[in-house]
Amino acid sequence: MIDMGAKMKTSVRCLTCLIVFAVAILGGLACKGSRNAGDAYAWVTVDAAYAPKDAVEEFIKNDAEMRDALPVYIKNYGHDPKILARFKGKQFAKTNPNVLGMFFKGLDDWMIVDIKYKTETEREVQRTMLYVFENKQWKVGDTGELLK
């Protein structure tokens, strides 16, 4: 005679193992996906041969050339409200585009860019810059950092 209680216990164990295995695989895939999302914004080397993608990158390159500070490294987040919400500067902290519009009356656009460079004494400096397009020109709106 077959012991139904033992068979049931074996089935429950197998089902539990399958659930644990599935959770482990799905958890691994979720971690891999979040890691790849962070790679969406990679550091780019701006040197004499670099072709800027927009007016802000051109401004950064020209400024670094004038200061004889090439190469500099940038991470251009563009016009990403999620990144703006993580920005903490001297004037703004965890802000949004509507608040920027109230502060900069002629605001047409904005952009967040990380800049990394070395000083004359070889000290590495990294800053997050908020650039604003106000009254038909790009300018620095604030400097700070991105919160995690």
Q: Look at phi and psi of residue 113 and say left if phi exceeds 0, alpha if psi is from -120 to 50, else beta.
A: beta
Give yes or no: residues 59 and 131 share one domain.
yes
Give yes or no: residues 56 and 112 share one domain.
yes
Q: What is the pLDDT of residues 29-82, one digit of tens each?
A: 444 444 444 557 999 999 999 999 999 999 999 999 998 889 999 999 999 999
Give yes or no: residues 21 and 53 share one domain.
no
Chain center to CA of 3: 59
* Predicted pLDDT of residue 133: 94
| Local confidence band at 119 (pLDDT 50, 70, 90 cut-offs) | confident
Give yes or no: residues 48 and 87 share one domain.
yes
What number of other Cβ atoms are within 10 A of residue 46's Cβ? 23
Give yes or no: residues 63 and 83 share one domain.
yes
Give yes or no: residues 12 and 52 share one domain.
no
Peptide bond into 71 cis (omega under 30): yes
**Which range among 3-12, 27-36, 130-139 has the greatest average pLDDT?**
130-139
Measure the CA–CA gap between 87 and 97, rounded to whole angstroms. 12
* Predicted pLDDT of residue 148: 87
Look-up: residue for tokens 């429950």?
Answer: 12
| Local confidence band at 9 (pLDDT 50, 70, 90 cut-offs) | low
Range of the domain at 5: 1-40
* Predicted pLDDT of residue 7: 61
Give yes or no: residues 6 and 68 share one domain.
no
Give yes or no: residues 82 and 123 share one domain.
yes
Give yes or no: residues 15 and 75 share one domain.
no
Can you give the pTM of this predicted structure? Answer: 0.69
How would you label 126-142 residue by residue, b for 16+ Cβ within 10 Å and e otherwise? eebbbbbbbeeebeebb
